[in-house]
Structure 1
Amino acid sequence: MIYYLYNIFRVVIYPIVRHLLPLVSKKAKARVEFEHNNLLRRPLLERADFAFEVSSEGELEQVYPLIQSLINRHKTIELVYASESVDEKIKALVKKYPQQVRSFILPILGYQPWSKFHNVRLWLTAEHLFLCRYDFFPELIDYGIRKSKTFNLISASLKGQESKNFLAKAYYKWCIKSFDKIVAVSQVEKNKLINDLSVSAKSIEVFDFRILQISNRLQSCEETLDHSWPLWHKFRDILNNRSHEEKKKKLILGSYWSEEFELIKGLSANTILTIVPHQLKKEKIENLKAKMEQENIPFFELTKETDCIDPEFKGVYLINLKGILCELYSLFDIAYVGGGFGSSVHSVLEPYMANCKVFTGPKIHRSSEFDIIRDYDSDSIKSYNDLNAVVEDIKNMETSDTASKHFMRHFEGHIDAIELWLGISQENK
């Protein structure tokens, strides 16, 4: 019923969102072009065994271990996604496995209920559908309920749902109860699903697949950096030499936001500071560089074109490189993860599993990763409401190893058990 009411609503607003909105909004125009380009792609694969929906790059990371496991078992996969941020990675996956993977971009503005090229419910063929987190589009929910044999939710969490209105909460609860099996990101979230939404405990297991994916990335970090940024060896040696000679901590501001500039002002003289901005657009980088120049903070920008690093340089390093932040964390003692003074903190598991002490701002309400680390090793992660307090604590702290070296042992065997429970592993054929 909800799906059909949704279709009526989308048909009514279609002329507005598809044709009028792009005339007044650059973002809407870019989105329409992005969706239209999807129509030009015709995959070799016509049907699949399993389907996954991911809205963004972070969610692809969460389900990637399952996808790779299925590929290794010669299964076929459909990937549905919404964000342009994950477009390149999914295209690369389709290109690498053209006989096993096909993809579909969710038409947010160009949705047409009657067309399989504009309605994912008509495009999907898989008997097993997995959604990730809380992107409960009605067309996906209806397919999961009516057409798939198994309908599962990965990385389930109630974070961020508290502020929703009554109708949104009611819809979310109805969707949650539609899944056959749910993998919650933590025991805290499992308890919330049971106590707040009356979900059966038998249908919920606990595991965060990001842990496995981050572990895999860190194990191959040198290989990744060799390929993406060959100069990293020189950079690592300079960091270590400076830290030893100047007796300063190696600090990285990962996924830095402009709201956190006070950290650069407060810590540039007291640490060996490296900044990796969240936004790498030219205007954002230029604004950051201009701010540092105004504050007389010396900086050295590192890009793909940089072919040497001055070993005598004593200022801040600005890394303008995409896709290697997780690997870079392994070069540092301390990490401040950005976004906590913006909309929401970014991944804190990446620096923690790279053996960094982790600091963040106050916006941790959507971060299940923060909860996981706090429950396992509370001394290694802290959030702050005040940037000056972050500066003072980092200045005065003594560096020491985290418990992250033993972190993966805590989860050994979990992935195999979860795959078996979900019906993915070979033993469950």
Structure 2
Amino acid sequence: MRETINVSDKIVWMHCSSLGEFEQGRPLLEKIKSHFPSYKILLTFFSPSGYEVRKDYAGADYIFYLPSDSKKNAAQFYDIVKPQLIVFVKYEFWYYYLSGAKRRNIPLLLISAIFRKSQPFFLNYGSFHRSMLTCFTHLFVQNNQSIGLLNTIGYTENVTLSGDTRFDRVIEIAESFQPIASVENFCQGSNVIVAGSTWSEDDRELAHYVNSKSALKFIIAPHDISKERLQECLKLYKNSTLFSALNSTLPPTKINTIIIDNIGMLSRLYKYATIAYVGGGFGADGVHNVLEAAVYGKPVIYGPEYSKFNEAIELVESGGGISIKNGLELETTLDTLLKNNEKYAEKAQSALQYVYSKKGSTEKILQFIYENRLLTN
């Protein structure tokens, strides 16, 4: 990755708020790089949780934090970068950067967008926010509800129902799966529960079941891997060890739980699950990425807070996801799935079919870029 922008480069700029949005934008970014090799990729982040994890990502030529949104910063940014195409992911709205793109006639796309009735765009006082929408050349949205809302404020021509590019990303990960030898050795011959992106609330609901089921294997991947959180998990889960200590701990027969103490492995860990649990659903911010588990054809369980996430709602509706209200419900659900082969197979197949039915968002956006000659080789 280069430190300084080369003024002779033809640049495509993608902006992501954080790591989740990066994973959403990544399939399109990589398609652009392979289909239009003469262009350089500039990737910017707002959040450290995105930048710190992906600052060495090989798919981009430049990776930076986006300078704060001001008239001066935006003008300087465009004077230096001179992007040929701009892609914002999901719900990033930076007024001076957006209006600057419009003034300079730079094509600007919003991808995997999702709109809700409560957002300022659709309220009486939302004229400022509505003005930002006018800066986009085209809006690619996830669902029909978003289309309907945009129609009410006059957006009928430059809106496409394309779905969510995250489906393409999780399918790509699953189809290029790379085994984890130490995890395979740990899991052999057992039913395995993988609990990903857990918070303290999730672990407290899970702990009794984990500690009482010595015949099962558990893989716990906390959302936060700070020393304090890892120690909390080791204390909650009585027969556990850290992933990093797997090769130097007690014989595997004496432990039934691995605590994952690294970032970046979770999307592969779900492959080893008999049943997946996705954390976050007991907190105000809601459940984390359920697609990473569903793509492997695993029943996916999560807490009650998931109404902000279209894919989590649809996964429940499809039969592949199960929302539980408390630890007791969680234990009952796990036992039922493990004992009832027919019900298990039905849930697993529903999860797999749901994800694959949503494939193709990236290709729709790429086709738009081609047809409108937003980039040319």
Flag whether TM exceeds 0.5 (same fold).
yes
Out of 139, 142, 156, the position equivalent to 1:185 is: 142
Aligned-partner Cα distance in 2 for 1:68–1:165: 33
Q: Deviations over 1:349-392 (max 9, x none)?
A: 110002111111122133232144345xx211022333332222
- Aligned-pair distance for 1:314? 4.2
Whichever structure has more helix as a proportion of its residues is: 1
Q: Which amino acid aligns with 2:279?
A: G
- Would the aligned equivalents of 1:104 and 1:120 in 2 still touch at CA under 8 Å? no
Aligned-partner Cα distance in 1 for 2:241–2:125: 47
The alpha-carbon distance between structure 1 residues 59 and 160, as it changes in their structure 2 partners (threshold 3 A), is: farther
Aligned-partner Cα distance in 2 for 1:395–1:319: 24
What's the TM-score once normalised by structure 1's chain length? 0.74
- Aligned-pair distance for 1:261? 2.6
- Would the aligned equivalents of 1:127 and 1:147 in 2 still touch at CA under 8 Å? no
Q: Which amino acid aligns with 2:243?
A: L
- Would the aligned equivalents of 2:141 and 2:159 in 1 still touch at CA under 8 Å? no
Q: Report the secondary structure of 1:276's partner residue.
A: strand
- Would the aligned equivalents of 1:127 and 1:148 in 2 still touch at CA under 8 Å? no
Out of 232-241 and 130-139, give the one that drifted further: 232-241
Which residue of 1 is the match for residue 370 of structure 2? 423
The alpha-carbon distance between structure 1 residues 281 and 203, as it changes in their structure 2 partners (threshold 3 A), is: same
Out of 99, 103, 113, the position equivalent to 1:142 is: 99
Does the alignment pair 1:316 with 2:257?
yes
- Would the aligned equivalents of 1:184 and 1:204 in 2 still touch at CA under 8 Å? yes
Q: Which amino acid aligns with 1:92?
A: D
Map 1:53-202 to 2 at 5 A. Answer: 53-72=15-34, 73-74=36-37, 75-88=39-52, 90-93=54-57, 96=58, 101-108=61-68, 113-114=71-72, 120-159=77-116, 161-162=118-119, 169-195=126-152, 197-200=153-156
Aligned-partner Cα distance in 1 for 2:193–2:252: 18
Aligned-partner Cα distance in 1 for 2:111–2:81: 19
Q: Which has the higher contact order (CA 8 A, sep 6+)?
A: 2
Q: Which amino acid aligns with 1:79?
A: L
Map 1:16-415 to 2 at 5 A. Answer: 41-44=3-6, 47-72=9-34, 73-74=36-37, 75-88=39-52, 90-93=54-57, 96=58, 101-108=61-68, 113-114=71-72, 120-159=77-116, 161-162=118-119, 169-195=126-152, 197-200=153-156, 203-222=159-178, 225=179, 232-241=180-189, 243=190, 249-268=191-210, 269-270=212-213, 271-292=216-237, 297-303=238-244, 306=247, 310-342=251-283, 343-374=285-316, 378-397=318-337, 398=340, 399-400=344-345, 401-407=348-354, 410-411=357-358, 415=362
The alpha-carbon distance between structure 1 residues 414 and 261, as it changes in their structure 2 partners (threshold 3 A), is: closer
Percent identity over the alignment?
19
Aligned-partner Cα distance in 1 for 2:117–2:332: 30
Aligned-partner Cα distance in 1 for 2:233–2:62: 39
Q: Deviations over 1:15-47 (max 9, x none)?
A: xxxxxxxxxxxxxxxxxxxxxxxxx94244654
- Aligned-pair distance for 1:177? 3.9
Aligned-partner Cα distance in 2 for 1:67–1:341: 33
- The RMSD of aligned alpha carbons is 3.2
Which residue of 2 is the match for residue 31 of structure 1? none
Q: Report the secondary structure of 1:78's partner residue.
A: strand
The alpha-carbon distance between structure 1 residues 91 and 273, as it changes in their structure 2 partners (threshold 3 A), is: closer
The alpha-carbon distance between structure 1 residues 161 and 369, as it changes in their structure 2 partners (threshold 3 A), is: same
Q: Which amino acid aligns with 1:280?
A: I
Q: Which amino acid aligns with 1:257?
A: W
Q: Which amino acid aligns with 2:151?
A: I
Q: Deviations over 1:386-407 (max 9, x none)?
A: 3332222222223323234445
- Aligned-pair distance for 1:141? 1.3
Aligned-partner Cα distance in 2 for 1:411–1:165: 27
The alpha-carbon distance between structure 1 residues 309 and 62, as it changes in their structure 2 partners (threshold 3 A), is: farther
The alpha-carbon distance between structure 1 residues 385 and 202, as it changes in their structure 2 partners (threshold 3 A), is: same
Q: Report the secondary structure of 2:51's partner residue.
A: helix
The alpha-carbon distance between structure 1 residues 425 and 62, as it changes in their structure 2 partners (threshold 3 A), is: farther
Q: Deviations over 1:25-84 (max 9, x none)?
A: xxxxxxxxxxxxxxx942446543322111111111111111111211212222221111
Out of 57-66 and 144-153, give the one that drifted further: 144-153
- Would the aligned equivalents of 1:82 and 1:106 in 2 still touch at CA under 8 Å? yes
What's the TM-score once normalised by structure 2's chain length? 0.83
The alpha-carbon distance between structure 1 residues 102 and 159, as it changes in their structure 2 partners (threshold 3 A), is: same
The alpha-carbon distance between structure 1 residues 353 and 50, as it changes in their structure 2 partners (threshold 3 A), is: same
Q: Which amino acid aligns with 2:61?
A: V
Aligned-partner Cα distance in 2 for 1:370–1:160: 19
- Aligned-pair distance for 1:255? 0.2
- Aligned-pair distance for 1:125? 1.0
Aligned-partner Cα distance in 2 for 1:388–1:204: 43
Q: Report the secondary structure of 2:281's partner residue.
A: coil
- Would the aligned equivalents of 1:254 and 1:278 in 2 still touch at CA under 8 Å? yes
Aligned-partner Cα distance in 2 for 1:303–1:126: 43
- Would the aligned equivalents of 1:48 and 1:78 in 2 still touch at CA under 8 Å? no
Q: Which amino acid aligns with 1:218?
A: A
